[in-house]
């Protein structure tokens, strides 16, 4: 019986994973949470064999969660199950201690294959993740010199973070909710493989994004 903790910020996704594991048999879902701040304690208390981890949790980056879990529970297998794939997020996930990487929209059989692989001590990267990495690696900067990996709204977010704006200040400036501002910040860090505001600010300066004119976004 494989003991599992699920860290995922969408309740419907958690429910779907639970149903999949129950139908497959051989699994015991011992805990689930939407908050990254809960994961370390849940892993220490329940001592699971496997952590299914989203990278964009409601209150923190899954990369940092994986790093903390790896320190307190070196034996647990960590399988990232997330919505999108970016070169920085995959590399950083494995660097932080993840054992595998799959996407939420893949078939349930893919997730079960990934679990079986990481539980035998091997690493797993799904074919869709690998194709996403190949596609991203083939992209080149556009004519304006701005990174193609960022949407217009994310470029705005980067500039505001680089200027020292908090999530609340970003939300007020762009007329969005604080939750949306936080999610944009998480997506930017995942896409670029960055970990904090200082690194985002350095990226903005090095890429020339700070000098680029503000662009109105319809996203």
| 2-32 per-position pLDDT tens digit | 999 999 989 999 999 999 999 999 999 999 9
Q: What is the pLDDT of residue 162?
A: 81
**CATH label of the domain that carries residue 167:** 1.10.10.10
For residue 2, the number of C-alpha atoms closer than 13 Å in the C-beta half-sphere is: 23
CA distances from 172 to 113, 156, 215 (A): 44, 13, 17
Same domain for 132 and 24? Answer: yes
Q: What is the pLDDT of residue 150?
A: 80
Same domain for 90 and 25? Answer: yes
56 lies in which domain range? 2-136
Residues of the chain with pLDDT under 70: 86-87, 132-149, 205-206, 210-219
In a domain, 74, yes or no: yes
Same domain for 132 and 156? Answer: no
* Separation of alpha carbons 118 and 104, rounded Å: 17
In a domain, 66, yes or no: yes
The pair phi, psi for residue 19, each rounded to 5°, is: -65, -40
Same domain for 33 and 90? Answer: yes
**CATH label of the domain that carries residue 84:** 3.40.50.2300
Same domain for 82 and 126? Answer: yes
Same domain for 103 and 156? Answer: no
């Amino acid at each position: 019986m494989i003991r599992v903790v699920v860290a995922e910020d969408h309740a419907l996704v958690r429910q779907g994973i639970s149903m999949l594991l129950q139908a497959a048999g051989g699994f015991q879902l011992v805990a689930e949470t939407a908050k990254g701040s809960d994961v370390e304690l849940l892993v220490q208390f329940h001592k699971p064999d496997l952590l299914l981890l989203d990278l964009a949790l409601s209150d923190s980056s899954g990369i940092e969660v994986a790093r903390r879990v790896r320190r307190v529970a070196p034996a647990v297998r960590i399988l990232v199950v997330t919505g999108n794939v970016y070169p920085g997020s995959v590399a950083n996930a494995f660097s932080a201690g993840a054992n595998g990487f799959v996407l939420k929209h893949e078939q349930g059989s893919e997730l079960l294959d990934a679990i079986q692989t990481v539980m035998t001590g091997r690493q797993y990267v799904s074919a869709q993740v690998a194709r996403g990495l190949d596609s991203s690696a083939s992209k080149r900067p556009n004519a304006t010199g701005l990174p193609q990996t960022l949407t217009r709204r994310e470029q705005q977010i980067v500039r505001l973070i680089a200027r020292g704006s908090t999530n609340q200040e970003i939300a007020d400036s762009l007329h969005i909710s604080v939750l949306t501002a936080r999610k944009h910040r998480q997506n930017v860090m995942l896409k670029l493989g960055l970990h904090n505001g200082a690194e985002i600010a350095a990226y903005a300066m090095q890429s020339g994004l700070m000098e680029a004119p503000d662009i109105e976004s319809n996203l």
